């Protein structure tokens, strides 16, 4: 369970999150919506302890992670599988070695076992054929799928975190990523997806949190979101109407 308890955060004195509070269970499918610069990605980084809040507490499984040291945060981070917006693959490594990186770092698999595990992960995300390609040879959709495979490599996460996973992708590749997100969330595993694309959020999530000026202005299900009268939310919902 993740709890944000009156969390505040600023970048260079610019307030990003203000007195933000919410609770998310590991098995929930949550989309965090809002415009650029509203603190969506910041929330994911705070959950992982990559950033520390200026005020408030962040609890993961009942422990206040804001007071943990970097070494203590390792166990917290192992609970989550994070896929960053641009995939963050190593440019100098091919697909196989990108996925194998964490396996070499955190496991003692033999080369034969490592090769088998990498192929298995790439098969799960549908890009086993790209094993020997370099990141700059991948399409946008393939790049995201390899990033997801790498995030799954070293451990079995309790929850997935996705930062704008369909941003910049054409509809076909966006559809592939959405279906993959749903497939990976089976077996009672949830996720938090940060996005500004309402159409994709609606396809995968069951709960929606909307940020404006660093504050949660909406937290509810799809039906509640569709009926929301807040002007900023209605602007976002026009995308959904246009897609129908």
pLDDT higher than 90, residue 31: yes
Greatest mean pLDDT among 19-23, 113-117, 135-139: 19-23
Those residues whose C-beta lies under 8 Å from the C-beta of residue 204, and which sit 6 or more positions away, are 29, 31, 178, 181, 182, 185, 191, 193
Question: Per-residue pLDDT averaged across 142-161, rounded?
Answer: 83
**Main-chain dihedrals φ then ψ at residue 222, nearest 5 degrees:** -60, -45
Per-residue pLDDT of 174-197, as tens digits, reads 888 898 889 888 878 899 999 888
Per-residue pLDDT of 55-111, as tens digits, reads 999 999 999 999 999 988 988 888 898 887 665 788 899 999 988 887 887 777 888
Q: Which residue has 């070293």 as its token pair?
A: 154
The strand pair at 55-60 and 215-220 is best described as unpaired
**Main-chain dihedrals φ then ψ at residue 101, nearest 5 degrees:** -55, -50
pTM for this one? 0.86
Question: Per-residue pLDDT averaged across 199-223, rounded?
Answer: 92
Sheet order of strands, 29-33 included = 80-83, 159-163, 190-194, 29-33, 207-212, 215-220
pLDDT, residue 197, reads 86
Distance (Å, whole) CA 158 – CA 224: 27
Question: Which element (helix H / strand E) includes 64?
Answer: strand 63-64
The strand pair at 14-24 and 2-11 is best described as antiparallel
**What domains can be seen in the chain, in order of their start residue?**
2-79+159-243 (3.40.50.300), 88-156 (no CATH)
Percent of the chain exceeding pLDDT 90 equals 40
pLDDT higher than 90, residue 134: yes
Question: Per-residue pLDDT averaged across 2-8, rounded?
Answer: 95
């Amino acid at each position: 369970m993740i709890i944000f308890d009156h969390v505040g955060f600023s970048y260079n004195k610019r307030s990003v999150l203000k007195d933000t509070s919410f609770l998310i269970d590991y098995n929930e499918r949550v989309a965090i919506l809002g415009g650029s610069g509203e603190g969506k990605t910041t929330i994911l980084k705070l959950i992982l302890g990559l950033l520390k809040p200026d005020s408030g507490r962040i609890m993961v499984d009942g422990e206040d992670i804001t007071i943990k040291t970097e070494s203590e945060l390792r166990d917290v981070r192992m609970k989550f599988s994070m896929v960053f917006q641009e995939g963050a693959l190593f440019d100098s490594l091919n697909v196989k070695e990108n996925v194998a990186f964490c396996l070499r770092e955190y496991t003692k698999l033999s080369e034969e076992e490592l090769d088998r595990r990498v192929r298995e992960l790439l098969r799960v995300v549908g890009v086993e054929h790209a094993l020997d390609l370099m990141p700059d040879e991948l399409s946008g959709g393939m790049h995201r799928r390899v990033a997801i495979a790498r995030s799954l490599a070293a451990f079995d996460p309790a929850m997935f975190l996705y930062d704008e996973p369909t941003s910049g992708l054409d509809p076909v590749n966006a559809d592939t990523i959405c279906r993959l997100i749903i497939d990976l969330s089976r077996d009672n595993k949830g996720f938090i997806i940060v996005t500004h694309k309402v159409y994709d959020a609606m396809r995968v999530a069951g709960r929606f949190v909307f940020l404006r000026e660093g504050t949660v202005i909406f937290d509810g299900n799809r039906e509640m979101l569709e009926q929301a009268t807040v002007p900023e939310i209605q602007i976002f919902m026009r995308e959904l109407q246009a897609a129908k």
